[in-house]
Amino acid sequence: MKKLMNKPSGFVDEMLDGLVAANPSLALGGDTGRVVHRAKPIRSGKVGVVSGGGSGHLPLFTGYVGEGLLDSCSIGNVFEGPTVGSCMEAIKLADGGKGVLRLYGNYGGDRMNFDMAGEMLEDEGIRTTTVLGNDDVASAGPAERQKRRGVAGIIYAYKTAGALAETGADLDAVTAIAQKTVDRTRTIGVALAPCQVPGSDKPSFTLGENEIEMGMGIHGEPGIWRDTLREADAIADEMIERLLADKPEGAGKRVSILVNSLGATPLEELFILYRRARATLEAAGIEIVRPLVGHYATSMEMAGASISLCFVDDEIEALLAAPAHCPFWTVTA
């Protein structure tokens, strides 16, 4: 696969240099140079919100650093979690004296390194809490939801936690709203074609010319089934059916929907999916609020899409509507 790059070894650092150069609201920090943070120092007395993960998923993770969202984000190599050192640096850069929420996807390496970073910084007087994104319904059944992977739906928690933190809420309240949002969010993806990690001599997985895989993860993790390509309406119907079958206990009749490209799939195809998903939800008596369609969490040049549903209540909906700005997502009052 052709890529616009120099040496594979410089791919991530050169990407980060370009990201912050193109967006003056961002800066690179820490000794590692693998932390993106707001260019303006965190406000004293504000709870910090931090995330992190591997490169290759822009706008996730670093693209959501900004007002009303994340304060800082540590980043690893492509499809590799951030180091303990960069996690520590991200937390320090987000410390306004009132504690820091660590909000990231449910992956083993990320958990281990963020946990170690948090434990070491507790000794320096920085209180931290953790909320794990685990919205991927294809990765484990409802009885083992704590094992599910975190994918595109985590951006809803970025938004609600970031909005509440801007109001001056304390760490316990910011943590609680992030957890509530995660608990009310479900995602499923479908893959059409693979991506290739810079420096690798082969794609991350293989699919036949006319094959798709329902439920595949953003790193090529196995999904639910693999079969021949079918029409977009049938794919959207199954995705919505699976999400509604897994809706959280006590969920109401309002959702925010995110139809997300995994990288190569264009907006035209996303809108075809959204059109059908909206009709299916409305037929089920469900109202859509604040729909999102676009590139929000990708996997390099992987072809495919994911659909996320966040089952909102009045509190979550109000926080989703609060002003926010980052390079890839702006919400105006």
Residue 67 within any structural domain of the chain = yes
Q: What is the pLDDT of residue 329?
A: 98
Comparing C-alpha atoms, which of 44, 61, 41, 43 is closest to residue 53? Answer: 61
What is the rounded average pLDDT of the residues 6-32?
A: 96
Q: How far apart are CA 27 and CA 35, in angstroms?
A: 8
Reported as a pLDDT band with limits 50, 70 and 90, residue 170 is: very high
Q: Report the alpha-carbon angle 78-50-323, nearest 5.
A: 110
Q: What is the pLDDT of residue 97?
A: 97
In this structure, the answer to whether residues 244 and 302 fall within a common structural domain is yes
pTM over 0.95: yes
Residue 2 within any structural domain of the chain = no
> Which CATH number characterizes residue 217's domain?
3.30.1180.20
Over residues 280-333, the pLDDT tens digits come to 999 999 999 999 999 999 999 999 999 999 999 999 999 999 999 999 999 997
In this structure, the answer to whether residues 226 and 162 fall within a common structural domain is no
Which of 136, 159, 183 terminates a domain? The answer is: 183
In this structure, the answer to whether residues 177 and 190 fall within a common structural domain is no
Alpha carbon separation from 210 to 121, 226, 227, 229 (Å, rounded) = 50, 10, 8, 6
Reported as a pLDDT band with limits 50, 70 and 90, residue 113 is: very high
Residue 3 within any structural domain of the chain = no
In this structure, the answer to whether residues 189 and 179 fall within a common structural domain is no
In this structure, the answer to whether residues 154 and 213 fall within a common structural domain is no
Q: What is the pLDDT of residue 199?
A: 94
- pLDDT, mean over the chain: 97
Over residues 173-192, the pLDDT tens digits come to 999 999 999 999 999 999 99
In this structure, the answer to whether residues 25 and 50 fall within a common structural domain is yes
In single-letter form, the type of residue at position 9 comes to S
What is the rounded average pLDDT of the residues 213-229?
A: 95
Which of 124, 151, 183 terminates a domain? The answer is: 183
Residue 141 within any structural domain of the chain = yes
In this structure, the answer to whether residues 14 and 116 fall within a common structural domain is yes
Residue 189 within any structural domain of the chain = yes
Reported as a pLDDT band with limits 50, 70 and 90, residue 1 is: confident
Q: What is the pLDDT of residue 30?
A: 87
In this structure, the answer to whether residues 158 and 238 fall within a common structural domain is no
Residue 245 has pLDDT above 90, yes or no: yes
Residue 284 within any structural domain of the chain = yes
In this structure, the answer to whether residues 327 and 199 fall within a common structural domain is yes
Residue 233 has pLDDT above 90, yes or no: yes
Active-site positions? 57, 219
- Number of domains composing the chain: 2
In this structure, the answer to whether residues 57 and 77 fall within a common structural domain is yes
Q: What is the pLDDT of residue 27?
A: 98
Alpha carbon separation from 204 to 34, 194, 200, 262, 300 (Å, rounded) = 24, 6, 9, 14, 10
Which of 132, 166, 183 terminates a domain? The answer is: 183
In this structure, the answer to whether residues 72 and 175 fall within a common structural domain is yes
Comparing C-alpha atoms, which of 176, 188, 136, 186 is closest to residue 316? Answer: 176
Residue 32 has pLDDT above 90, yes or no: no
Which structural domain range is residue 45 located in? 10-183
Residue 69 has pLDDT above 90, yes or no: yes
Q: What is the pLDDT of residue 308?
A: 98
- What percent of the chain is modeled with pLDDT above 90? 98
Q: What is the pLDDT of residue 7?
A: 97
Residue 1 within any structural domain of the chain = no
What is the rounded average pLDDT of the residues 238-254?
A: 96
Residue 4 within any structural domain of the chain = no
> Which CATH number characterizes residue 39's domain?
3.40.50.10440
In this structure, the answer to whether residues 197 and 327 fall within a common structural domain is yes
